[in-house]
Chains A and B, each alone.
Chain A
Amino acid sequence: ETGVTQTPRHLVMGMTNKKSLKCEQHLGHNAMYWYKQSAKKPLELMFVYNFKEQTENNSVPSRFSPECPNSSHLFLHLHTLQPEDSALYLCASSQDLENGYTFGSGTRLTVV
């Protein structure tokens, strides 16, 4: 365990479903992130939160909706996804925006 816990580990959902990914850290970090990792592509930054405030939305489609209720928890709400959204979704946290990240193990999402 890295200190960043992601649930579920695997998720299969239909295109009309609504689901949420959860990320939790108890490292005392103040920044949290969502990244998407697709096959044969670099990690894509999706969202950045610093002290619960969103500081970055990297042109992510509105069918992905993040939520950060406190500095320890981060959610990614999914709605009306497309098959091309199938990927490994990685959550990370860091002490602040200038330090290295601690990653969770990811959620493997398959959209059918």
Chain B
Amino acid sequence: SQQGEEDPQALSIQEGENATMNCSYKTSINNLQWYRQNSGRGLVHLILIRSNEREKHSGRLRVTLDTSKKSSSLLITASRAADTASYFCATLLKAGGFKTIFGAGTRLFVKA
């Protein structure tokens, strides 16, 4: 497995439901970020959570970080069709210079 793996690979829900995506990583991190990508366009930064933080909120988004389990989750509440996109977690590694490594992403489908 690689640094930053999202789970599930794909998720299909109805509009109004909550969507939860998980990210696991292997090595110690400086911070963890979540991004959204629509249809092969550029990624949009959603939330950054630092290694000494446990939870952050931004609108309908809630991110948690458990450094003991090396995992993070992204919760989107009251999902909308417009939330349909791929979601990526990215971990900033400090060892050997700063590198941000992306996972393969979770593809979210929100049905209207």
Chain A interface residues (CB < 8 Å from chain B) = 2, 4, 6, 33, 35, 37, 40-43, 45, 48, 55-56, 58, 88, 90, 92, 97-106, 108
Candidates A37, A41, A43, A103; contact of B44 at CB < 8 Å: A103
Residue of A nearest to B50 (CB): A98
Candidates B30, B33, B99, B103; contact of A100 at CB < 8 Å: B33
Binds A, one of B35-43, B65-73, B77-85: B35-43
| Given the contacts A90-B43, A105-B41, A42 and B103 also touching, CB distance less than 8 Å | yes
Does B97 sit within 8 A of A, measured CB to CB? yes
Residue of A41, A97, A102, A104 with highest tally of chain B CB at under 10 A: A97
On whether the beta carbons of A45 and B98 are closer than 8 Å, the reply is no
Within 8 A of A (CB), among B54-107: 88, 92, 97-105
Residues of the A chain whose Cβ atoms lie less than 8 Å from the Cβ of B26: none
On whether the beta carbons of B99 and A48 are closer than 8 Å, the reply is yes
Residue of B2, B42, B97, B104 with highest tally of chain A CB at under 10 A: B42
On whether the beta carbons of B99 and A2 are closer than 8 Å, the reply is no
On whether the beta carbons of B97 and A100 are closer than 8 Å, the reply is no
Residue of B40, B99, B100 with highest tally of chain A CB at under 10 A: B100
Chain B residue total in the interface (Cβ 8 A):
24
| Given the contacts A98-B30, A106-B40, A108-B40, A45 and B45 also touching, CB distance less than 8 Å | no
What's the least CB distance linking A7 to chain B, in Å? Answer: 13
On whether the beta carbons of B102 and A42 are closer than 8 Å, the reply is yes
4 tightest Cβ-Cβ pairs between the two chains A and B: A103-B42, A97-B98, A43-B102, A100-B45
On whether the beta carbons of B42 and A105 are closer than 8 Å, the reply is yes
Residues of the A chain whose Cβ atoms lie less than 8 Å from the Cβ of B35: 101, 103
Residue of B nearest to A45 (CB): B99
Provide the bound-state CA to CA distance between A103 and B100, in Å.
13
What's the least CB distance linking A36 to chain B, in Å? Answer: 11
On whether the beta carbons of A42 and B2 are closer than 8 Å, the reply is yes
Residue of A nearest to B3 (CB): A42
